[in-house]
Structure 1
Amino acid sequence: MDKKLIHQGIETLSLIDQDIAQAVKQYGLPDGRTYPKGFEAFLFTIISQQLSTKVAIAITDRVLALMPACTPEQFIQIPTQALRDAGLSHRKIEYTQGIATAALEGNFDIDGLQHLDDERAIKTIINMRGLGRWSAEIYLMFALDRRDIFPADDLGVLLGLQKLKGLASKPTPKEARDMVTHWAPWRSVGSLFLWHYYHQN
């Protein structure tokens, strides 16, 4: 999502949700955020699991340095030990090699995701081992620029919504989804703002 899209979304959300309108006055707009499309994004998603962003970026950079280009064809040729030396666990090697193999065999059409509606794209992604709904939603938001995604399982989103709405406790994912139905069709921008708001407090 670029700044223009974020600005447009926040303007609309501010008109329909006074809590956002007040919070934007105090904390401003979130920065834009994009992921590279394609295999590289899924590679980074797997590497990032249960790691800090700083560590995940460092490991990803080491893996990328092992390939002329980040494609399933190039990745699958990297020796398993080289991936271990770069910092990938056995399980993450299994997942990333599985995604690369599925792409090469035509069982995971990464480029075709952009032509699917949100739910079909999410279902296609979560069929891959190692990729859950959160990973799929993040890919749709930041690689495909889908405007109406709400990753309700994300802790930062839930805590941001708790603070924004002055709740006594963190809402459940279902409660959170119900609370932001009126944000449609700008729930991706709303989610980005919740992360921004949470980290400002």
Structure 2
Amino acid sequence: MLKQFNHTNYHSICDKLAADDPDLAGIISAHGYPPLWSRPNTFETLVHIILEQQVSLASALSALNKMRERVQEITPARVLLLTDEEFKACYFSRQKTTYTKYLAEAILSGQINLAELEQLPDDVIRTKLTALKGIGNWTADVYLMFVLQHADIFPIGDLAAVNALKRVKGLSKEASREDVMAVAERWAPYKTIASMLLWHYYLASPKSSPKERTL
């Protein structure tokens, strides 16, 4: 089975999902194909994803840009030169300051090697990432989906994806995690691309909340 996706096969996978699921077909019909959201495999990207935890995309990007202005290039070594006050001036919370410093130290010490992760299976990558302070399953999911472009991830901790699935599939707001995953499993081995279709639908919806947007 296909493990990863790219610009060459992305639309064909969307079409395959649409052929098997009228609800996903309806999203493409109404809104077109979703963008192929992707990010480089860098320390800066992981800092960006950490910043996006539980806040709006705009807030996270504002903090990232503020840090970039201060250090020019967001690298582990440069970030560790910043004081807590300088982090605060870049709109980093105390918690996210701690997480960012920990990640920088982990990379510099060799505890984590981002390039090596590209060759590993999903479960090993998840274990390595979630061993780091401040990185949970949602952050690992976003990394696997948008950085490594692994094709079969459904981010069960992402409110936007879950709420979009519930709307598209007519599930109640109280539907359980197990109910949601039972639906998502029907999209294997392309759950990531199905999730992108759901985000595409969600972002086009007037009911969407900025705090639930996690791309």
Q: Same fold (TM over 0.5)?
A: yes
Give yes or no for contact 2:161–2:199 (8 Å, CA) kept in 1.
yes
Give yes or no for contact 1:159–1:170 (8 Å, CA) kept in 2.
no
- Indicate the residue corresponding to 1:133 in structure 2: 137
Q: Which has the higher contact order (CA 8 A, sep 6+)?
A: 2
What amino acid does structure 2 have at the position aligned with 1:133?
A: N
Equivalent of 1:145, from 132, 138, 149? 149
Are the structure 2 counterparts of residues 68 and 31 from structure 1 closer, same or farther at C-alpha, using a change threshold of 3 Å?
same
1:116 aligns with 2:120: yes
Give yes or no for contact 2:107–2:113 (8 Å, CA) kept in 1.
yes
After TM superposition, list the pairs within 5 Å mapping 1:1-201 onto structure 2: 4-201=8-205
Find the residue that maps to 1:129 and give its secondary structure.
coil
Structure 1: tracts of 5 or more residues without a match: none
Structure 2: tracts of 5 or more residues without a match: 206-215
Q: What's the CA shift for 1:193?
A: 0.6
TM-score (norm 2): 0.86
Q: CA RMSD in A?
A: 1.7
Find the residue that maps to 2:105 and give its secondary structure.
helix
**Large movers: runs of 4+ above 4 Å:** 1-4
Distance 2:183 2:109 in 1: 41
Give yes or no for contact 2:27–2:197 (8 Å, CA) kept in 1.
no
What amino acid does structure 2 have at the position aligned with 1:152?
A: I
Give yes or no for contact 1:33–1:142 (8 Å, CA) kept in 2.
yes
